[in-house]
Structure 1
Amino acid sequence: MSAATLPRRTVSEFLAALQFLTRLPVPAWPYEAEALARSVKFFPIIGLIVGACGALLHHFIAPHLPRIVAALITVVFLVCLTGGLHEDGLADVADAFGGGTSREKILLILRDSRIGSYGGMALIVSLVGRMLLITALQPQNVSGYLIAAGVLCRWTPLPLSYFLPAARNEGAHPADGQGARIASRTTIASLIAGSVVSSAIPIVLLRGRAIAPLLASIAITWLTAIYYKRRIGGVTGDCFGATIQITEIGVYLCGAWIL
C-alpha cells in the first residue's frame, strides 16, 4: 500500500465502522467491499464515541432528574444511537440458542426476523438490567463506566472474529448479515492494536477499578466463544451483538458491585 492511499483507506475503514455500529450520519464515501472486515480495529473507538455521547447526556440530565429516570433516558438514547443493533443480536441469539436443539435449527432461527419469548425476555433483562445497574453506580463514576463499557463491549468482536470462523459459508444467505463477514478476517495487528486501545481507555478513566471490567470482558468473550463454537461451529453477526450486550452489562455490574 502506498503512502498516498493509506489515509484514504484509514478514513474508509473508520467510516465503515461508524456506519455499521451507529446511526450517526456518515459522509458519502466510495464503497469498498473489504472495508468492513478491515474496520474492526476501529470498533473500540466507535465505542468510545458512543459511550462519551451517553456520558455527556447523563452528565447534563442527572442533576435535574431522579437517578433511575436519568439512567432510563441514557439507556434509551444509547439504543437509539446504535439503532438497536446489539439488542437485535441478543434477542435473536436468545431465541435461537434457547429454542434450537441442533446446529441447523439454531441457524434457521437466527435468520427469523421475528422475536420469540426467549428474545423478549432477554431484551427486558438487558434494558432493565442496564438501567438499574447505571442507577446503582456511584454518581462520580457513571461517566467513566459508560465510556469504559462502550469501549470494552465493542472490543469483543475482535477476538471473536480472529479466533472463530463464520458459522455459515460467506454469502450463503442475504440474511446472514454483514457482521458474519468479518469472521476469520481480523488480523493479529488489528487484534493487538484494538486490545491496547481498549485496555488503555478504561485504565485512564477508572484507574484501579479498571481491572474488574477488563477481566470480565475477557471472561465473557472467552465463554461465549466456547459456547458459539460448541453449538454452531463459529459465529454470526447476531453472536457479535449478543456478546457486546452481555459485556456491556458485565462492565456496569463490575461498577455496581459493592466490595
Structure 2
Amino acid sequence: MGVLRTFLATLGFLTRLAPARVMTDQEMGRCMAHLPLAGAVLGAVAVLPFSLGLLSHSPWVQAWLVVGASIYLTRGLHFDGLADVCDAVTTHADPDRFWTVIKDSRAGAFGVMGLFMALGGQVILFHEMFRAGAFGTIVWAFILGRAAAVCLGASVRGLTRPGLGKLFIDGATPKTALIAAILTMGAGVFLAGPVVAVGGAAIAGLALMPLHKLAGHVKGANGDFLGCAVILGELAAGLGFALLG
C-alpha cells in the first residue's frame, strides 16, 4: 500500500474528508504514522473559511463553528472516546468494572461533564485564537491532538486490548512516535511560534501522563484512550496559546 493511499485511508477512516475503505489489520497499523498530517488537513479545512474573512467580526461564532465542523468532520469519534473514559474512570479501582462501563454506549454523568468541559474549553480557547488572528495555531491544535494520540499509543503498546484500537496502537512504534513528535514540533514552530509550540507540547505531555497511568492500572488501553488523547492535545495547544501567545 503506497504512502498516498495509506494517508487517504487514514483520512477516510478518521474523517469525512476522503472516502472510507476497508483496510487490513496491517494497513490500519500503518495509519498511525499519518495522524499528524490528517490533523493538518482537518484543521486547514475547518479554519480556511474564517482565515478568508468569514464572520471576522464574530470570533465567538467562528470558534463555535470550528468546533462544530470538527465534530461533523470526525463524526464525533474522539469526543466519544473522551466521554467513555470519563465515565469509566470513576470505577478504575475495579479494572473489570472499568472495562464494562467503557464499552457501554450510554453516556453517564461524568461523560457528560467531560464533554461539557472539553467542548466549552475548545470554544473558549479557539475564540482567543480567532480574536488574535492566530489561524495557524488553530490548525496546529488539530495536529498536536493527533500527535498526542500517537505518543500515547506508543507508551501503552504492551497494554492493548482486542479491538480496532489495538490495530491502531500496534502501529505506534517508538520510531513512529518520535517522527510524529518531531514533525509536530516543526509544524508548531512554523504555525504557532516556538514559545507556544513548546508550551503546548509540554502541557499535552502532562495531560497524557494520567491516561498512561490509568492504562497501567486497569491493565489495558483501547481506541477510547486514543480519542481522549486527541481532545487533550487540542486543548493543550489552546492552553499553550492562552498562557504564552
What's the TM-score, normalizing by structure 1? 0.85
Once residues 20 and 145 of structure 2 are traced to their aligned partners in structure 1, the CA distance between those partners, rounded to angstroms, is: 25
Q: Summarize the Cα distance change of 1:108–1:189 in structure 2 as closer, same or farther, 3 Å threshold.
A: same
User: Radius of gyration: which is bigger?
Assistant: 1
**1:4: which partner in 2?**
none
> 94, 98, 113: which is aligned to 2:90?
98
Give the C-alpha shift of residue 186 in structure 1.
Answer: 2.3
**1:20: which partner in 2?**
13
Superposed counterparts of 1:58-137, under 5 Å: 58-59=50-51, 60-63=53-56, 65-137=57-129
CA deviations over 1:150-181 (Å, ceiling 9, x no partner): 111100122222221365542xxxxx4x2232
Look up the equivalent residue of 1:222 and give its one-letter code. M
Give the 3-state SS of the residue equivalent to 2:55 in structure 1.
helix
Once residues 156 and 182 of structure 1 are traced to their aligned partners in structure 2, the CA distance between those partners, rounded to angstroms, is: 14
Once residues 27 and 250 of structure 1 are traced to their aligned partners in structure 2, the CA distance between those partners, rounded to angstroms, is: 29
**2:143: which partner in 1?**
151
**For structure 1, which runs of at least 5 residues remain unmatched after alignment?**
1-7, 171-175
The alignment covers a number of residue pairs equal to 243
CA contact (8 A) 1:93 1:239 kept: yes
**1:39: which partner in 2?**
31
CA deviations over 1:47-83 (Å, ceiling 9, x no partner): 10111112213323232x5221121111101111111
Once residues 121 and 21 of structure 1 are traced to their aligned partners in structure 2, the CA distance between those partners, rounded to angstroms, is: 24
CA contact (8 A) 1:156 1:243 kept: yes
> 166, 169, 173: which is aligned to 1:183?
169
CA contact (8 A) 1:166 1:183 kept: no
% identical aligned pairs:
23
Give the C-alpha shift of residue 236 in structure 1.
Answer: 0.8
**For structure 2, which runs of at least 5 residues remain unmatched after alignment?**
none
Once residues 94 and 86 of structure 1 are traced to their aligned partners in structure 2, the CA distance between those partners, rounded to angstroms, is: 12
CA contact (8 A) 1:130 1:252 kept: yes
CA contact (8 A) 1:180 1:236 kept: yes
Look up the equivalent residue of 1:250 and give its one-letter code. A
Give the C-alpha shift of residue 141 in structure 1.
Answer: 4.3
Q: Summarize the Cα distance change of 1:242–1:27 in structure 2 as closer, same or farther, 3 Å threshold.
A: closer
Once residues 52 and 185 of structure 1 are traced to their aligned partners in structure 2, the CA distance between those partners, rounded to angstroms, is: 25
